[in-house]
């Protein structure tokens, strides 16, 4: 009986639908590491030249110990994030995953699912489909990711990429845009982690795919 049960379990596992393919899981976790490194080193860089006098990040949540060290971490993670992001965007478009998972997004659908989420009535039974709030958040964070990279480049190379810096309204404005995008990403991560805790099956799928 035990061998039959084990056989049934193996059969059930192999026939379980793949929710997150291997390439999605790979870029997701690489992106998570790169983003955390960039945020923590970015906070250390911010402390050296704050945009808001009243805001200072604790040393316990920063990376690099000092400005020079933080910049080294930031630039190293930047290349990892950019290359990984390009792979994600290319495969997401080429495989049709973005079109399938993120579209369509309608105001009615977002409002309806937001109300359901706030009242605890939003279903998470089918992990293969994103609700409208998820679609909006995931599509929005892709856009924010693109903007934060471009604004970061305009801050890093304001002379060589002066056209890009000018596009953001100048160096100072680009710094504010970069900071706002960072804040949006941190807020997204908080919500993302909270949902993973509330729906552990989604976290499991991002680890083993099924």
Quote the CA–CA distance of 38 and 48 in Å, as a whole number: 15
pLDDT tens digit string along 53-84? 899 999 999 999 899 999 999 999 999 999 99
Q: Which of 3.40.50.300, 1.20.1300.10, 1.20.950.20, 3.90.950.20 would CATH assign to domain 20-208? A: 1.20.950.20
Q: What is the pLDDT of residue 16?
A: 63
CA Rg value for the chain: 20
Quote the CA–CA distance of 6 and 4 in Å, as a whole number: 5
Q: What is the pLDDT of residue 122?
A: 75
Quote the CA–CA distance of 87 and 82 in Å, as a whole number: 9
CB proximity list for 142: less than 8 A, separation 6 or greater? 89
Residue 202 clears pLDDT 80, i.e. is over it:
yes
Quote the CA–CA distance of 165 and 67 in Å, as a whole number: 22
pLDDT tens digit string along 142-200? 999 999 999 999 999 999 999 999 999 999 999 999 999 999 999 999 988 888 888 88
Q: Whats the size of the chain, residue-wise? A: 210
CB proximity list for 206: less than 8 A, separation 6 or greater? 20, 25, 28, 29, 196
Q: What is the DSSP code (8-state) at residue 202?
A: H
Quote the CA–CA distance of 63 and 41 in Å, as a whole number: 4
CA distances from 174 to 119, 164, 169 (A): 38, 9, 7
Q: Write down the H helix ranges in the chain.
A: 2-15, 22-48, 67-94, 97-102, 107-118, 132-156, 162-167, 171-198, 200-208
CA distances from 123 to 82, 106, 130, 145 (A): 34, 18, 10, 28
Residue 8 clears pLDDT 80, i.e. is over it:
no
């Amino acid at each position: 009986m035990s061998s039959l049960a084990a056989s049934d379990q193996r059969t059930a596992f192999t026939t379980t639908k793949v929710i997150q393919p291997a390439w999605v899981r790979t870029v997701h976790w690489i992106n998570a590491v790169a983003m955390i490194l960039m945020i923590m080193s970015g906070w250390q860089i911010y402390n050296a030249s704050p945009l808001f006098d009243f805001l200072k990040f604790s040393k316990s949540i920063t990376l690099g110990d000092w400005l020079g060290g933080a910049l080294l971490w930031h630039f190293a993670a930047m290349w990892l994030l950019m290359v990984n992001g390009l792979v994600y965007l290319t495969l997401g478009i080429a495989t049709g995953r973005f079109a399938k998972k993120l579209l369509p997004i309608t105001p009615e659908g977002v409002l309806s699912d937001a109300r359901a989420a706030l009242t605890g009535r939003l279903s998470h039974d089918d992990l293969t489909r994103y609700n409208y709030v998820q679609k909006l958040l995931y599509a929005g964070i892709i856009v924010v990711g693109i903007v934060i990279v471009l604004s970061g480049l305009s801050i890093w190379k304001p002379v060589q990429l002066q056209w890009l810096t000018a596009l953001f309204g100048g160096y100072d404005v680009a710094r504010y845009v970069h900071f706002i995008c960072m804040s949006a990403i941190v807020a997204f991560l908080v919500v993302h982690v909270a949902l993973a805790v509330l729906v552990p099956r989604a976290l499991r799928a991002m680890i083993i795919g099924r």
